[in-house]
Chains A and B, each alone.
Chain A
Amino acid sequence: TQLLEQSPQFLSIQEGENLTVYCNSSSVFSSLQWYRQEPGEGPVLLVTVVTGGEVKKLKRLTFQFGDARKDSSLHITAAQPGDTGLYLCAGAPLYGNKLVFGAGTILRVKS
């Protein structure tokens, strides 16, 4: 069974701080997706990374896929209260037909 471990589970920071969320596995994924979910709403797809070593930027968010395609990170620069939410990573296995979801990182940004 392929697993994706996310860390930290919970992060509470002040507005303006930087943070990094990690998504790790011992398995290789063909692609990895990051979602953000607000309370009571559905997850919203932020980005998909496909190539080992790939870096994608979305405003203040930087996503990186590990060279071996086993891990990924999400870095937020100068966090804002609007960044508050649950961040989920989801990996597409090389063999298999289901996305593998991490348990998520709850981010709280205080103003």
Chain B
Amino acid sequence: DSGVTQTPKHLITATGQRVTLRCSPRSGDLSVYWYQQSLDQGLQFLIHYYNGEERAKGNILERFSAQQFPDLHSELNLSSLELGDSALYFCASSAGLAGSNEQFFGPGTRLTVL
């Protein structure tokens, strides 16, 4: 158990809908990262937050947004969903600011868009 929690575990929705994925980092970690993993793309970095502020963006679509709250939990919002958004979404956390620190991953949310 990495100490990172993610909810929900599974999410099934329809195209055009909007969903919110939630992540709680390990106790004491200030950085939260979001990743998307699909069979053909591997693990893709989406976005990094540190203590409530956005620090780095990766391959995140404009339909996707994220935020980190004062209690350090984070939410990833996916809107106008398309079939191709079906994937595993992982949250990871680390202690420090540098995105290159050791990261500890949550169990993931499997999103299925029908």
Contacts and interface: CB of A to CB of B under 8 A. Distances in A.
A87 to B, nearest CB: 12
Interface stretch (A18-26, A61-69, A71-79, A94-102): A94-102
B103 A98 contact: no
Interface residues of A, number: 22
Measured as residues with beta carbon below 8 angstroms from the partner, the interface class of chain B is 20 to 34
A103 interface: yes
A85 interface: no
A30 B104 CA distance: 18
B2 to A, nearest CB: 7
B105 A97 contact: no
A99 B100 contact: yes
Contacts, number: 59
Interface of A is mostly: strand
A41 B42 CA distance: 14
A27 interface: no
B58 interface: yes
Nearest to B4: A42
B56 to A, nearest CB: 5
B90 A45 contact: no
Contacts of B101: 92
A51 to B, nearest CB: 15
Contacts of B106: 42
Given A92-B101, A103-B42, 7 more contacts: A41-B107, A42-B4, A42-B106, A42-B107, A45-B103, A97-B56, A101-B45
